[in-house]
A and B are shown apart, each in its own frame.
Chain A
């Protein structure tokens, strides 16, 4: 199996890391970049497939050269064999469609270099910064591959060239579907995805791979290929900001919720105050 997982570096939104200016706007320069948390699930799906069926697991990202740290992070979690970074000033500030066109072209160059199509392209659902959920599907459309989204479990049948997946459907009620598709395909993995390793041999293989990768991750640059827009034969007018249909016109801090209740303020040391709070809660006490 030839697999590529798409990943993105995003600002670290966890407590303490994220930095805002006085107007409440995100300060990107001050906020460290980490691998998009949702991509972890895509990487897990790729790793599960690699352990069960063998093959090459590559990671591809579009971003500034500093993203090498993100690729290293991805390498450690998927035990990736190869890293691909599409990196060029001309690609910067792309929206989802311009990103999808660039990633599609990167995957086609990957195909040319390898002499074969990736069997499976994995992507995570929504990035922590853009939060659109569009890039994976649009990349599939640009590639002309079948698309499976919101996937929570995955079985691959390499000999038959087919996959079977369970996916989540939303609406007025929640549904779960079993979907089959031919390969190659793009699989967008849901945060609910959990890999399963039922066989002991698979669990052992995973351990071996981990050790092997830890060595590689010491020098991720040795396994990285960087392509710019010329390598990919992309016209700067059609990628990055210039190729993007959408722009962000304004960013406003979210208005404060209007005040409708009058809070009684207490501190933990204030026995009387805490007693009042407890009296509100005590009627609901119980449990096992």
Chain B
């Protein structure tokens, strides 16, 4: 044999093959690869070289390879057959879009915990109701809010979803689903969501619901909780579509787009109708992004999905008289979906609860000059107070500061105050080195008295604090701590150390 392919990486092999012109020698190498490492890319390289030198590749072993490779991945061979493609590339297996699809309704995944709908599930139902009432008016349509509840013994929660605004509530219950599990929950959601005759559906015998006359949902909404966010990512991936995570504002509007990735042609504009606009605070709380999930000319991206930060919307008033359709979904669970299993669970006691203290001392990016020392100074002030807790702005959590020693244990998301963290309303809130973005404000705005310490005379927090100490927290915090401990204020100590006041 000219060479043993097992001795080469695929890239090296490609180079070596360039030197070989004899089809029979290449055939031997191909056989050796099949009997040996059996790498798909290696075989591809040898076959393409064979093509170049005019050799022949038998089709039988090809088919066998494909069958062997189909493995656990859901739709296998059929997803490879995309129109207009001469060879199946590695990515096409994941393309599961329908062509000229019909999309309708807004679907809300209602997460439960310990047998109850969690608050964010109710909040989303209320928001979905508002959005779809308006949608039906704007577009003279009659589309629904569809709730999905999965778990063990969740029929009552499906009824409840109707009272909070759903038109249809589909539930699936099984004792094996008492705890959230990624694979079966995703499979169940997608099985309900897809049309009975969907080309990538999991089965042939899905019930054909009369309220479900479309290929896939138009919009989906999930809670931005640990499990809800995971489910949103998997469902949208399985449905070959996109989503925005951790949104706190949603609306539906037509939009004109010039992005060539979506219009298909640079320099043109395309009107997209009924687009879910998904707004989220990002870049560590500095900016809002509006995310859109849009079809391409040759690939449709529906449903348009979002996960929603808990607390972003009001919990609506339940209306027990509201009428809707409650459906128990039927699907046989496959043992292979249970390769992960929850063996025990417990409610976390304690954690860090920043509410209920007399004082919260919160630190922001102003500690950046010496983050470890900054936290130490905050802790010292906390210690000098009778009942105080240490809080942090989101900026501190997301910054890549290096903390030394015991200080590191205090820097955790569980101490974050603001929109995506805890909301506190103590009698006294001390915000040191926090600029005061609106996301932080909503986490502490109800405090009785707010004292801010900041070196930036124009920091936003000045507009919503009662006292604004224009100074450096590295000087002001120890000054306050000392004053509390000594019982008097030593301003003289600062005579030389004050900041420049333009």
Q: Are A and B interaction partners?
A: yes
CB distance from A142 to the nearest CB of B (A): 6
A269 touches B365 (CB 8 A): no
Chain B residues lying within 8 Å of A233, measured Cβ to Cβ, are: 41, 44, 89-90
Q: Does A83 contact B (CB under 8 A)?
A: no
Q: How far is the CA of A237 from the CA of B298 in the complex (A)?
A: 10
In residues 425-464 of chain B, which contact A (Cβ within 8 Å)? Answer: 427-428, 430, 436-439, 441, 445, 449-452, 460, 462-464
Residue of A nearest to B497 (CB): A268
A284 touches B386 (CB 8 A): yes
CB distance from A33 to the nearest CB of B (A): 11
Chain B residues lying within 8 Å of A20, measured Cβ to Cβ, are: 286
Q: Does B72 contact A (CB under 8 A)?
A: yes
8 Å CB contact of B10 from A95, A113, A147, A253: A113
A176-B348, A287-B383 are contacts. A141–B238 as well, Cβ < 8 Å? Answer: yes
Q: Does A54 contact B (CB under 8 A)?
A: no
A268 touches B183 (CB 8 A): no
Most buried by B among A108, A164, A269: A269
A255 touches B438 (CB 8 A): yes
Interface size class of B (residues with CB under 8 A): 35 or more
Q: Does A200 contact B (CB under 8 A)?
A: no
Residue of B nearest to A96 (CB): B233
Most buried by B among A96, A129, A237, A257: A257
Say whether chain A's binding surface is mostly helix, strand, loop, or mixed.
mixed
Chain B residues lying within 8 Å of A138, measured Cβ to Cβ, are: 233-234, 237
Q: Does A155 contact B (CB under 8 A)?
A: no
Q: How far is the CA of A149 from the CA of B261 in the complex (A)?
A: 32
A109-B41, A232-B90 are contacts. A261–B465 as well, Cβ < 8 Å? Answer: yes
Q: How far is the CA of A255 from the CA of B244 in the complex (A)?
A: 21
B182 touches A137 (CB 8 A): yes
A248-B291, A280-B449 are contacts. A115–B37 as well, Cβ < 8 Å? Answer: yes
Residue of B nearest to A237 (CB): B298
Chain B residues lying within 8 Å of A146, measured Cβ to Cβ, are: 182-183, 339-340
Q: Does B344 contact A (CB under 8 A)?
A: yes
A267 touches B471 (CB 8 A): yes
In residues 124-160 of chain A, which contact B (Cβ within 8 Å)? Answer: 128-134, 137-138, 140-144, 146-150
Residue of B nearest to A174 (CB): B348
Chain B residues lying within 8 Å of A246, measured Cβ to Cβ, are: 242-244, 291-294, 301
Q: How far is the CA of A150 from the CA of B114 in the complex (A)?
A: 19
Segment at the A interface, from B18-26, B152-160, B210-218, B276-284: B276-284
Q: Does A178 contact B (CB under 8 A)?
A: yes
Q: Does B199 contact A (CB under 8 A)?
A: no
- A72-97 CB mask vs B (1 if < 8 Å, else 0) is 00000000000000000000000111
8 Å CB contact of B286 from A24, A104, A109, A257: A24
A137 touches B498 (CB 8 A): no
Q: Does B351 contact A (CB under 8 A)?
A: yes
Segment at the A interface, from B56-64, B130-138, B161-169, B476-484: B476-484
B386 touches A261 (CB 8 A): no
Residue of A nearest to B262 (CB): A247
A26 touches B287 (CB 8 A): yes
Q: Does B255 contact A (CB under 8 A)?
A: yes
Interface size class of A (residues with CB under 8 A): 35 or more
B91 touches A267 (CB 8 A): no
A112-B41, A281-B428, A281-B451 are contacts. A264–B484 as well, Cβ < 8 Å? Answer: no
B287 touches A239 (CB 8 A): no
- A88-122 CB mask vs B (1 if < 8 Å, else 0) is 00000001110011101100110011010000000
Segment at the A interface, from B98-106, B201-209, B222-230: B222-230
8 Å CB contact of B398 from A37, A97, A244: A37
A172-B118, A172-B119, A261-B464 are contacts. A284–B359 as well, Cβ < 8 Å? Answer: yes
Chain B residues lying within 8 Å of A280, measured Cβ to Cβ, are: 428, 449, 451, 466-467
CB distance from A265 to the nearest CB of B (A): 5
CB distance from A282 to the nearest CB of B (A): 7
Q: Does B176 contact A (CB under 8 A)?
A: no
Q: Does B143 contact A (CB under 8 A)?
A: no
B439 touches A254 (CB 8 A): yes
Most buried by A among B41, B85, B179: B41
A171 touches B242 (CB 8 A): no
Segment at the A interface, from B317-325, B326-334, B488-496: B488-496
- B66-77 CB mask vs A (1 if < 8 Å, else 0) is 000001111000
A287 touches B386 (CB 8 A): yes
Q: How far is the CA of A203 from the CA of B290 in the complex (A)?
A: 47
Q: Does A66 contact B (CB under 8 A)?
A: no
Chain A residues lying within 8 Å of B229, measured Cβ to Cβ, are: 133-134
Chain B residues lying within 8 Å of A171, measured Cβ to Cβ, are: 111, 113, 118, 225, 227
Q: Does B387 contact A (CB under 8 A)?
A: yes
Residue of A nearest to B264 (CB): A242
In residues 238-288 of chain A, which contact B (Cβ within 8 Å)? Answer: 238-239, 241-271, 273-278, 280-282, 284-288
A147-B182, A169-B180, A178-B345 are contacts. A191–B412 as well, Cβ < 8 Å? Answer: yes
B259 touches A247 (CB 8 A): yes
Segment at the B interface, from A10-18, A44-52, A211-219: A10-18
Listed by A's residue number, 13 A-B pairs whose Cβ atoms lie within 8 Å are A97-B241, A109-B10, A137-B237, A141-B186, A149-B230, A170-B226, A172-B118, A173-B347, A180-B341, A246-B243, A248-B291, A284-B427, A285-B384
Residues of B bordering A, CB below 8 Å: 9-11, 37, 39-42, 44, 71-74, 85, 89-92, 94-95, 111, 113-114, 116, 118-119, 179-180, 182-183, 186, 225-227, 229-230, 232-234, 236-238, 240-246, 255, 257, 259, 261-262, 277, 281-294, 296, 298, 301, 339-348, 351, 358-359, 365, 368-369, 382-388, 395, 398-401, 412-413, 427-428, 430, 436-439, 441, 445, 449-452, 460, 462-472, 475-476, 479-480, 483-484, 489, 491, 494-495, 498-499, 501
